[in-house]
Chains A and B, each alone.
Chain A
């Protein structure tokens, strides 16, 4: 078995008297992009600070490439990492000074600094920003500079603490795609924290579910998000069905996407052969006894696996060859005489499916 790049074991962490982390083991392999997913207050940021060696855990061991971290080697090993904070703080002065800050404190020679600066400017297209003052940047530009000052250090592991939470939706998307492009290009090992499933799907290969300081589940994204092991986790990850598929056909904006050999017709962008994730909100799913005629393009026959009262509606879990969740009212549930094991048709409009591109 390969030694993981970073491994933490038996971590227990207290703040004052309160235990906030209790983790058996978390590991990060070379080149992977791992998401730590959990609600506010689950200990995500603390875990990230501990993994990036910024905060010392109350108890437990940390290994980097098999080497145990101690007081002596911690600074040198920590300098292989960079943590991007939720709300970046910049030091007074120019953009350039901020970008090279990390190199300066590592006492990297001036020539090397200039070389790396050039590279990072072209990688992130910073030509126009580099000589600006730090207080003249917009929110999106700040994130770019934040990323630049991290990547210029060529970190072995890049840690990100909800780096997009302070951006508005339009800029956010752009920054996320940009980040993904770079992570893929550099084959950057990345660990990031989020409570947004879309970000998780876009950026992560593997997800670690954190709740009240404990790791409850861990694995590939679609597995963890669709089959949470606990009811509490189901609430946490949201009710959306998330499916992984491949684009098989494209006619203009209409895509045909295969999910376990079931074809979905979806409106969206993408190239043939591209891997995508589909997000389906349960309130957008129709349930019918027979397959009706009409404009709805996607109909799947599925078996009811569970019926859960969920507030004023009933949540129906179907197995259509893939998992699918639907919300219907209590009245319809009774009218359709739904019960576990019964086969029904589930319909989803092509426009109701959210396509998240994952890249080839």
Chain B
């Protein structure tokens, strides 16, 4: 219990003093996971729209790939990206291993299937009905897709939350391709692992609190958009 209390007290002191090292780590975490989520979104939304609305040969295979990808173990992704970016690997000449870019690449591979998979089922749920309705009222193809996406925002934002939550909390891949280098590739999760191993529980707890606060803020912000104007609640029944 003492370890826990001591740790907590230390943690609050660290946060209170706004340790510049912690700020750096937090900022890098936001940059890496934010960028990875954003790029996954840019790639994942059109891809999921395509999967949801079009019939083509190999569609089921692609969907199975996406669904498998949703549960991809981060360490496997880490290994795969590390092998490719390794100095002697196929893209070794780019010198990307142990850089934030390598971490972003690994996180995209983790977040993309999550975002694409969730949004695909979102678009399938609001169905082509909305698309047809918009066309029927004179929308262009793009306007109709936009109308459909707006209707799908509830589950689509859940996709973003799941994607972001997946990468910001992930440690295996970033550790393997980033290397947890101080001031360069150290993010909240890898720092927590390191500090815990060294027995610096105060620092570890402080970092954890920040990580939790970060995830909560992002999700709260997204939830705000998601639930805006939402009024479909179930009625109360007898039992």
Contacts and interface: CB of A to CB of B under 8 A. Distances in A.
Interface of A: 52, 54, 75, 78-79, 81-85, 87-89, 91-93, 101-102, 105-106, 133, 135, 149-150, 153
B138 interface: yes
Interface string B208-229: 0000000000000000000001
B150 interface: yes
Contact of B136 (A54, A133, A135): A54
Nearest to A101: B137
Given A101-B137, A105-B138, A133 B231 contact: yes
Interface string B105-139: 00000000000000000000000011011111111
B136 A83 contact: yes
A153 to B, nearest CB: 7
Given A92-B229, A133-B231, A149-B137, 9 more contacts: A54-B135, A75-B140, A85-B136, A89-B129, A91-B133, A91-B147, A101-B134, A105-B134, A105-B139
Contacts of B138: 78-79, 81-82, 102, 105-106, 153
B232 interface: yes
B132 A150 contact: no
B147 A85 contact: no
A92 B152 CA distance: 10
Nearest to B135: A54
B132 A85 contact: yes
A105 B133 contact: no
A135 B147 contact: no
Contacts of B150: 91-92
B231 A135 contact: yes
Nearest to A149: B137
B95 interface: no
Contacts of B134: 101, 105
Contacts of B195: none
Interface centre among B130, B134, B137, B143 (most CB of A within 10 A): B137
A295 B179 CA distance: 101
A79 B130 CA distance: 17
Given A89-B129, A91-B151, A92-B151, A135 B232 contact: yes
15 contacts: A54-B132, A78-B138, A81-B138, A84-B136, A87-B129, A91-B130, A91-B133, A92-B150, A92-B229, A101-B134, A102-B137, A105-B134, A105-B140, A106-B138, A135-B232
A133 B229 CA distance: 10
A85 B143 contact: no
B135 to A, nearest CB: 5
A88 B134 CA distance: 11
A178 to B, nearest CB: 20
Contacts of A133: 231
Contacts of A106: 138
B136 A93 contact: no
Interface string B146-163: 010011000000000000
Given A89-B130, A93-B229, A153 B135 contact: no
B135 A105 contact: no
Contacts of A88: 133
Q: Among B133, B135, B136, B229, which residue has the most Cβ atoms of chain A within 10 A?
A: B136
B109 to A, nearest CB: 34
Contacts of B137: 82, 101-102, 105, 149-150, 153
